[in-house]
Amino acid sequence: MLVSAWGRWSGIAAAGLLAAGTAQAVETEQMLTGELLIEGINQNNYTDGSDDANDRAAAMWIRAKIGAKVDFDDYAELELSLVYDGQAGDYSGIDQDDSAEVAFNDAFLTLKHLFRDDFHMRIGRQPVSWNLRSDYGAFYHDSRADDPLVTSWDGVRAYWQNTKVTASAFWYILDEAVERKGIEVPVAGAKTNSGDNDLIGIMLDYQPDADGDNRLFFTGGATMELNQQVEPGLEAKELIAYYAGFEANLTAGIDLYGEGVFQDGELRNGNSMTGWGFNLGADYRPPGPMDTIIGVQFDMLSGDGDPNDGEYEAFSAPWEGVSDTLIVEHERYGELSELQVGNLQALKLKFEYRFMQERFRVKMMGAHYQMPEKVNNEDTFGTEVDFEINWQYTYWVNFGFMAAAFLPDTGYQEVVRQELGTVGGDDEIYFLGGTAQVVF
């Protein structure tokens, strides 16, 4: 898996290594890193929202990662890691099999202070996530999208950085980023590409000086992706996207955020492609000894209203990492939103409460989904309610419990009928899960 993608940019990698200079004796600092994640999941009615079908999953998943980081005299840093992903269980009526695989997850070299103190370059298989908020997946480009075996991309990134601005230019190869783990999305066809699926772009992050308790952050950029598979049998020859986002942490415990993407491209069948998507949200942290968050968020992804007008208008984001809800959106636990391309809007309400020095966290999320473009005259996709508990047992060990229910509506039933050729039901789809995680 590693060698074939590296062959395409070995010349760039070699040039970057030569820029570092000849070998010499240097001081090194080594660090061992690792992660163990054990999950037990139970899910029912997943493929069509009907109690009549025997479609359920009861399984245990184990993912282990071990790696090393070596710092060479603060001028170069090497990071390597191996990942093991094993799944075993009962998958009745779901296209899923037991598996156990090992692969290189990370293998990259960071050249620091290259030519000047504030210029750096990262070469190799590296994690990528242009996420706006900490602990959230990226809205548009995230190497963890669809929960693959390898959660990094092969490529090169050069970046200039000071205390306020980070400017990046990058080239990533996505040919092998298609092998999904976790629960498979029941789409009518597997996600593949024709090869040479590349992502090229620039990004700019800006964080002005802080003013008291106020914190501001702005980000934006432009990317070009070649040979993106939009849906089975439909590929974008070239897709250009313009991205912008902001986050504001204001006084009185109010946080505001938003981000959006506009797409312009050409499909291989000759049709043009224009899609767009955005989200806007606000969180409120009431004053007091406990850490409480009350939030509201609105998401909107364009859909293709007329498939015969010569223009494809759905928002295509196969590399997004948004996982706000466990059933409709989560990259590992199902992502029912991928039954269609774009064409989804959501109103989300959340409540989060932390106590005992933030060692315990309780989170509740409710989301109602509509479809901007009707499917067979129906536009209500459904409603989801989630409940999560996290216990930070020690600094390195964390336990979690998750429960979710999705109530399908008539729009979901029509999407299932159109995309899968089966009759969708209105019985609740539920998910239960427990996790144990060790990180060091």
Asked if 275 and 260 touch (Cβ cutoff 8 Å), the reply is: no
Tell me, what's the pLDDT at 418? 83
Average pLDDT value for residue range 139-162: 90
Tell me, what's the pLDDT at 184? 59
pLDDT value at 21 more than 50? no
| pTM for the full predicted model | 0.85
Tell me, what's the pLDDT at 177? 61
Asked if 244 and 281 touch (Cβ cutoff 8 Å), the reply is: no
**Higher-scoring residue by pLDDT: 277, 289:** 277
Tell me, what's the pLDDT at 2? 36
pLDDT band (50, 70, 90) for residue 250: confident
- 9 three-class SS: helix
pLDDT band (50, 70, 90) for residue 179: low
Strands (E), 207-312: 215-231, 234-250, 254-267, 272-273, 276-284, 291-301, 311-312
Average pLDDT value for residue range 416-439: 86
pLDDT value at 12 more than 70? no
The pairs formed by 8-16 with CB atoms below 8 angstroms and a separation of 24 or more are 8/173, 9/154, 9/155, 9/156, 9/171, 9/173, 12/123, 12/156, 12/171, 13/123, 13/124, 13/156, 16/109, 16/111, 16/121, 16/123, 16/156
Average pLDDT value for residue range 30-59: 80
Per-domain boundaries in the chain: 2-439
- Classify strands 234-250 and 360-375 as parallel, antiparallel or unpaired: unpaired
Strand partners, 68: 32, 80
Tell me, what's the pLDDT at 215? 86
Q: Which of 356, 140, 132 is nearest to 255 (CA)?
A: 132
Contacts with 53 (C-beta within 8 Å, 6 or more apart), sequence order: 45, 47, 93
Q: Which amino acid is at 64?
A: A
Asked if 320 and 140 touch (Cβ cutoff 8 Å), the reply is: yes
Average pLDDT value for residue range 63-87: 92
Tell me, what's the pLDDT at 343? 93
Tell me, what's the pLDDT at 357? 73
DSSP codes of every residue in 188-223 = SS-----S--EEEEEEEEE-PPPBTTBEEEEEEEEE
Q: d(Cα 248, Cα 375) in Å, to the nearest integer?
A: 37
The dihedral sign for the CA sequence 6, 129, 148, 191? negative
Q: Which CATH class is domain 2-439?
A: mainly beta
pLDDT band (50, 70, 90) for residue 19: very low
pLDDT band (50, 70, 90) for residue 130: confident
Residues 220-229, buried b or exposed e (16+ Cβ, 10 A)? Answer: ebebebbbbb
pLDDT value at 239 more than 90? yes
- Classify strands 99-111 and 76-92 as parallel, antiparallel or unpaired: antiparallel
Mean pLDDT of the chain: 84
Distinct helix (H) and strand (E) counts, the chain = 3, 20
Q: d(Cα 82, Cα 79) in Å, to the nearest integer?
A: 11
pLDDT value at 348 more than 50? yes
pLDDT value at 181 more than 90? no
Q: d(Cα 214, Cα 255) in Å, to the nearest integer?
A: 10
Percent of the chain past pLDDT 90, that is, above it, reads 49
| CA 384 centroid distance within chain | 20
Q: Which element (helix H / strand E) includes 419?
A: helix 410-420
Q: d(Cα 85, Cα 384) in Å, to the nearest integer?
A: 29
Tell me, what's the pLDDT at 9? 41
pLDDT band (50, 70, 90) for residue 13: very low
Residues 382-419, buried b or exposed e (16+ Cβ, 10 A)? Answer: bbbbbebebebeeeeebebebbbbbbbbbbbbbbbbeb
Q: d(Cα 191, Cα 171) in Å, to the nearest integer?
A: 22
Asked if 114 and 121 touch (Cβ cutoff 8 Å), the reply is: yes
Tally the C-alpha atoms within 13 A of residue 230's C-alpha that lie toward its C-beta: 27
Average pLDDT value for residue range 346-357: 91
